[in-house]
Amino acid sequence: MADLAPLKLLLPSLSCPFPSVVSPHAEQVDAETFSWLVESRMIDDPAELDRYREAHYGWLGARTYPYASRDMLRLVTDWCVWLFAFDDAFCESDRRAAEIARALPQLLAVLDEDAGSRVRVEAPFACALLDIMCRVRDAGSADQLDRWRTVTKDYLYAQVWEAANREDAVIPTYGDYIFMRRRTGAMLTVFALIDLATGHPLTTDEWRHRDLRAITDSANDVVVWDNDLLSYAKERRGVNAPNNLVNVLVRHLHRSIQQSMDEIGRMRDAAVTRMVALRAGLDALGSPAVSAYVRGLEHWISGSVAYSLTSSRYTKAWQDLVLTPDHAERS
């Protein structure tokens, strides 16, 4: 791995041809979601809770689901915060793979329950997950719930792989990382809530459409690769350093850190271009649900970039690094 001495790096320009919109419910949902986090007891350290309050995750939901009703915005934002809390507690910690594996049964038991039944759970993360699952069930169809549960299980299983990388200080191969990042990044779990939030449910055939799968994969890549770039300053000194695409390229493609960041910038721009090309064919299907879903993916690209460039979750760690003039203006 590259030297971890203080660096001066330039983030590549994160091009985004998609509109940037903010929900009018942002402030209200931000406050309500933070209260939900406190009540959930997933995080009980006061200093850590202050960090979550300062991050204003309600604005992430407001930027990535700007079309959602207030209640739906609460649901998707609460879910995003559950993912951040789980990531901080299990995925950016020194917890061993076995510890995470032993935490899975209660979480999977929640997700395996029939839609109309309840599970007795005690662990805070499982209780909060049950709350989210019941709200997804109540807001959508059985198909929508099953889609979300399936990809959430994949996300949880993938965390054991990441933990094994941390435990053995193994930087995964490029191919393994690209494949697994689509699962470890949890984006499929938040994308599965898009048609719930739009109010236009996708049919089974639409969900399985080849081009819809392709544009979903491209959007997934853009968001997780952007996150690898934007979180590099935070992660480069942490236990999760092996699970960042910058370090994968440094190790296996023998690039410098800056060259690796520039390459990721080109990769994500190519994925954005694929999204634009795929949209024309999907719009031609004439399905309001498909069109709304594609717009939802686009809002995730623009919203996650705009949020990350202003959020204390990422910006504080960049104090010793240099942003491009373009990013300085946009932030």
Q: Where are the alpha helices (DSSP H) in 169-287?
A: 174-184, 187-191, 194-198, 204-208, 210-230, 232-235, 245-252, 257-283
Contacts of 123 (CB under 8 A, 6+ apart): 103, 106
Instruction: Report the distance separating Cα 178 and Cα 194, nearest Å.
Output: 23
Percentage of the chain exceeding pLDDT 70: 86
In this prediction, residue 119 has a pLDDT band, given cuts at 50, 70 and 90, of low
Residues 198-229: pLDDT tens digits?
999 999 999 999 999 999 999 999 999 999 99
| Mean pLDDT of the 273-278 span | 97
In this prediction, residue 114 has a pLDDT band, given cuts at 50, 70 and 90, of low
pLDDT, position 263: 96
How far lies 207's CA from each of 59, 204, 227, 236, 273, in Å? Answer: 28, 5, 25, 37, 21
Residues 60-90: pLDDT tens digits?
999 999 999 999 999 999 999 999 999 888 8
Q: 3-state DSSP call for residue 294?
A: helix
Residues 244-273: pLDDT tens digits?
999 999 999 889 999 999 999 999 999 999
| Mean pLDDT of the 8-29 span | 93
pLDDT, position 10: 86
| Mean pLDDT of the 38-62 span | 95
Residues 132-172: pLDDT tens digits?
999 999 999 999 999 999 999 999 999 999 888 888 888 99
Question: φ, ψ for residue 234 (rounded to 5)?
Answer: -75, -35
Q: Please give the mean pLDDT across all residues of the chain.
A: 88
